[in-house]
Structure 1
Amino acid sequence: MKKLVLAATALSLLAGTTPTLAAQCKDAKGRFTKCPAKPKVCRDAKGHYAKCKK
C-alpha cells in the first residue's frame, strides 16, 4: 500500500511540471509556437565554462 501511495505521489509531481514547460512555447492566443533555442554552453579542455567560438 505504501508503494502505491508513493508511486501516485511521484506521478502527480511529474504531471504537475509538464504544463509549465509547454506553456513557454505558446503565443498570446494559446497556440503552440517554435520554442527559442537554448544558448549553447561551451567548455574548455579542463571542463570549465568558456566563451563559444563563432
Structure 2
Amino acid sequence: MTRPLATAFISLAFLVVSAAPALAAPCKDAKGKFVKCPPKGAPKKGPCKDAKGRFTQCE
C-alpha cells in the first residue's frame, strides 16, 4: 500500500530537481558565458491620466 505513495514522492522529487536550473535563468552572452543581467525596466503604472483625471497619451 505504501508503494504508490513512495513512487509518487520520488517522481515529485525528480520533477522539482529537474526544474531548478530553469528557475535560475542566468544571463549569457553570445559565446555562452555567464554575464551580469541587465536591470529590468521600471514597472508600468497603468494608464496615464492628466490632472483632471482623464485618460491621456503616455509619454
**TM-score with structure 2 length normalisation?**
0.45
Which structure has greater strand proportion? 1
Which structure: larger Rg? 2
Tell me which of the two structures has the higher relative contact order, counting C-alpha pairs closer than 8 angstroms and 6 or more residues apart.
1
